[in-house]
Amino acid sequence: MNKVSDLVLEVVRELGSDQENKALVNADLETPLFGRNLDSMGIVFLVTDLEARISEEWDLAITLADERAMSQNTSPFRSVKTLTQYTQTLLDEAKTSA
Amino acid sequence: MKTVTIDMPKFGQVVLKNYTHLSHEALLAVLKMRNHPDVRKKMFDHDPITESEHFHFINRLSKRTDTEHFLVLYQDKILGAINVTDADEQAQSAYVGMFSNLESTHPMAAFILENALIYYGFDQRQFTALIAEVLEENKNVIALHQRFGFRPAPTDTNGVVRLVLSNVIEKNKGSHG
C-alpha cells in the first residue's frame, strides 16, 4: 500500500458510508466501482472528492474525469486498483510538470 | 433549436437533439427512458406515462417557446435528457432538469449531462441563473447539483428543495467542463 492507494481507499470508504454501501465501506484494492457499486452519479461524487483531497494533500490539480480517462484501455473507474493506478499516473505527471 | 452541439473542454462534443425534431422511433426511446421505474420515482408525478400522453406532451412542446427538452448524445450514445422549462427572458432565468438513460453504461454520463445543462443554459441561452427543483428525498440528485455549484434557495413548496446556480461559466470553465 502506498499513499495514493491509502487516499483512494479512504475516499471510497467515506463515500460508501455516505451511500450506505457496505462493499464500499469495506473496500480493498479489488473492490469494483462503476457498474457494481457506483452509478455515474456516484462517479461524480468519487471523482470530485478525490480531486479535492489530492489538491489538499499535494497542492496539485489533476483531472480524473475527461476524454483521456475514457480512452484508457482499462477504465480507471472499474475498481479501486485501476483508479489508484490512474491517479498515480496523473499525480506523477503533475509533479513532473509542477 | 433543432440540434445543438456543445464543445466541452474536458469531454469534447456533446450533441443535444430537441424532442420536437426527433423521429418516432427516437421518441419511443425517450418514452422508455422516461418510464424507467428509477426515473419515475424521482419525478413529481410517479405514474407511468402512456404513449398517447407522451406524444401529446411532445406536440405541446412544439408550440412552446419557453420550454425545451433535449436528448443528449455523446459519441453517438444516448446518455439521457436535459430540459429548460419556463424560461423567463426578462429575469434571464429558467428551470432546469435532467435524467439519465439508465441503460447507458457510460461512467461519465452524470458528469456530461450536468455539464451539458449548465453549458446550454449559460453559454447558448445566456441565462444568468438556472433553477432546479428536486424532491427532498432525492438526496443524491440534490448532492449532484451542489457538486456543480447549485446552492439552496428558499421555496414555499413542501417536500421540494430549490437550488439555484448563478452564471459562473467563465470562472469555472476549467474545473467543470
* 177 residues of chain B, pLDDT tens digit each: 689 999 998 999 999 999 999 999 999 999 999 999 888 887 778 889 999 999 999 999 999 989 999 999 999 999 999 999 999 988 899 999 999 998 888 999 999 999 999 999 999 999 999 999 999 999 999 999 999 999 999 998 899 999 999 986 554 544 444
Backbone angles phi and psi of A54, in degrees to 5: -65, -40
Dihedral angle of Cα A62, B78, A30, A9, to the nearest 10 degrees: 40
Residue A81 is assigned to a structural domain of this protein? yes
Q: What is the DSSP string of B136-159?
A: TT-HHHHHHHHHTT-EEE--SSTT
Task: State which H helix or E strand residue A7 sits in.
Answer: helix A3-19
Between chains, do A65 and B106 touch, taking CB under 8 Å as contact?
Answer: no
ipTM of predicted assembly, 2 dp = 0.90
Residue A86 near residue A76, CB atoms below 8 Å: yes
So where are chain B's domains? 3-176
Query: A36 CA to chain B: closest CA distance, Å?
Result: 11
Is the CB of B13 inside 8 Å of chain A's CB atoms? no
Chain A residue nearest residue B174, CA to CA: A63
Q: Is B88 helix (H, G, I), strand (E, B) or coil?
A: strand
Instruction: Note the pLDDT tens digit of each residue in B40-63.
Output: 887 778 889 999 999 999 999 999
Q: Which residues of A touch B11 (CB under 8 A)?
A: 66-67
Number of domains observed in the structure of chain A? 1
Q: The domain that contains A55 carries what CATH number?
A: 1.10.1200.10
Q: Which residues face B96 on adjacent strands?
A: B84
Q: To the nearest whole angstrom, how far is the Cα of A83 from the nearest Cα of chain B? A: 13
pLDDT at B175: 43
Residues of A in contact with B114 (CB under 8 A): 44
Confirm if B127 and B94 have CB atoms less than 8 A apart.
yes
Q: Which helix (H) or strand (E) holds A50?
A: helix A40-58
Residue A98 lies in a domain: no
All three cell numbers of B169? 461559466
From the list A35, A44, A63, which residue is nearest B110 (CB)? A44
Q: How many CB atoms lie within 10 A of CB B60?
A: 11
Spatial separation of the C-alpha atoms in residues B94 and A12, rounded to whole Å: 35
Contact B134, B145 (CB under 8 A): yes
Please choose, from the candidates B36, B39, B98, the residue with its C-alpha nearest in 3D space to the C-alpha of residue B72: B98
Distance, in Å, from the CA atom of A4 to the CA atom of B170, rounded to the nearest integer, reads: 32
Which domain range does residue A70 map to? 3-93
In angstroms, the Cα distances linking B57 to B53, B69, B95, B169, B171 are 6, 11, 17, 31, 37
- Say whether B107 and A44 touch across the interface (CB within 8 A): no
Q: In the CATH scheme, what is the code of domain B3-176?
A: 3.40.630.30
Q: Which three cell numbers stand for residue B102?
A: 439508465
Q: How many CB pairs under 8 A join A and B?
A: 47
Q: Report yes or no: A40 at the B interface, CB cutoff 8 Å.
A: yes
From B57's Cα to the closest Cα of chain A, the distance in A is: 28
Residue with cell 483508479: A83
Q: Indicate whether A54 belongs to any domain.
A: yes
Residue A15 lies inside a defined structural domain of this protein: yes
Per DSSP, A66 falls in state S
- Type of residue at B44: F
Question: According to DSSP H, which parts of chain B are helical?
Answer: 24-34, 37-40, 51-61, 109-119, 139-147, 169-176
